Chains A and B, each alone.
Chain A
Amino acid sequence: MKLLLVGEYREGRLLDITAELMGFAAAIGGEASLFLVGSAEEVPAFNGTLYLVDAKVYGEYNPEVHKQLLLKAVQEENPDLVVFVHSSYGWDLAPRLAASLKVAQVSEVIGFAGNAYEVGCCNAKMHRNVTPLTSKAVITIQAGAFPALQEGGTPVVKVLSTDVASTTEFVGYEPAEARDVNLAKAEIVVSAGRGIGKKENIEVIRSLAKAFGGELGASRPVVDAGWIDHGHQVGSTGQTVTPKLYVACGISGSIQHLAGMKKSGFILAINKDKDAPIGEVADVLVVADLLQFVPALTAKLS
Chain B
Amino acid sequence: MKILVCIKQVPDMESPFRPNGSATWFDESDLAFRMNEYDEYAVEEAVRLKEQLGGEPEITVLSIGPDRVIEAIKKALAIGCDRAVHILEPEVASREPWQIASIIAAYARDKQFDLLFTGMQSQDRGSAQVGVLVAELLGIPSTTTLVGFAWADGVVTATRELEGGVKGKVRLRTPALVTCQLGLNSPRYPTLPNIMKARKKEITTLQAGELSSEKPLTGSAAFRHPEKKGSGVVLEGSVDELVEKVLVILKDKTAVLR
Binding site for B on A (CB under 8 A): 10, 60-61, 63-64, 86-88, 91-92, 94-96, 98-100, 102-108, 116, 119-123, 125-134, 167-177, 187-188, 212, 220-221, 223-226, 236-238, 244-245, 252, 265-268, 273-275, 277, 279-288, 292-293, 296-297, 300-301
Query: Does residue B192 face the partner (Cβ distance < 8 Å to A)?
Result: no
Residues in A whose Cβ lies below 8 Å from that of B126: 107-108, 119-121, 123
Taking a contact as CB atoms closer than 8 A, the residue among A188, A212, A220, A265 that contacts B182 in the complex is: A220
List residues of chain A with CB within 8 A of the CB of B167.
173-174
CA distance A94 to B98 in the complex (A): 13
Judge whether A168 and B218 touch: CB under 8 Å.
Answer: no
Query: What is the distance, in angstroms, from A166's C-beta to the closest C-beta of chain B?
Result: 9
Question: How far, in whole Å, are A299 and B168 apart by their CA atoms in the complex?
Answer: 46
Partner of B26, one of A92, A116, A122, A252: A122
Whether A288 pairs with B239 at a CB distance below 8 angstroms is yes
Say whether A244 contacts B256, CB under 8 Å.
Answer: yes
- The one of B24, B168, B218, B249 in contact with A60, judged by C-beta atoms closer than 8 angstroms, is B168
Q: How many Å lie between the Cα of A264 and that of B166 in the bound state?
A: 24
Number of interface residues of B (CB under 8 A): 81
- Name which residue of chain A comes closest to B120, CB basis: A91
Interface of A is mostly: mixed
Within 214-258 of B, Cβ neighbours of A (below 8 Å) are at 215-226, 228-236, 239-240, 242-243, 246-247, 249-250, 253-256
Q: In whole angstroms, what is the CA distance A198 to B232 when docked?
A: 29
B247 lies within 8 A of A300 (CB): yes
Pick the residue among B123, B223, B228 that contacts A128 (CB under 8 A). B223
A96 to B101, CA, bound (A): 12
* Inter-chain contact total with CB atoms closer than 8 Å: 248
- Whether A279 pairs with B218 at a CB distance below 8 angstroms is no
What is the CA–CA distance of A277 and B221 in the complex, to the nearest angstrom?
A: 20
Given A64-B141, A133-B217, A169-B171, A174–B166 Cβ distance below 8 Å? yes
B172 contacts A168, CB within 8 Å? Answer: yes
Bound complex: CA A220 to CA B249 (Å): 29
Is B14 at the interface (CB under 8 A from chain A)? yes
* Bound Cα distance from A177 to B123, whole angstroms: 27
- The interface residues of chain A lying within 8 Å CB-to-CB of B240 are 296
Q: List 20 A-B contacts (CB under 8 A).
A: A88-B161, A91-B129, A95-B132, A98-B129, A98-B133, A105-B129, A105-B218, A108-B127, A116-B222, A122-B124, A128-B221, A129-B222, A130-B219, A131-B219, A176-B166, A220-B183, A266-B254, A277-B226, A285-B232, A293-B242
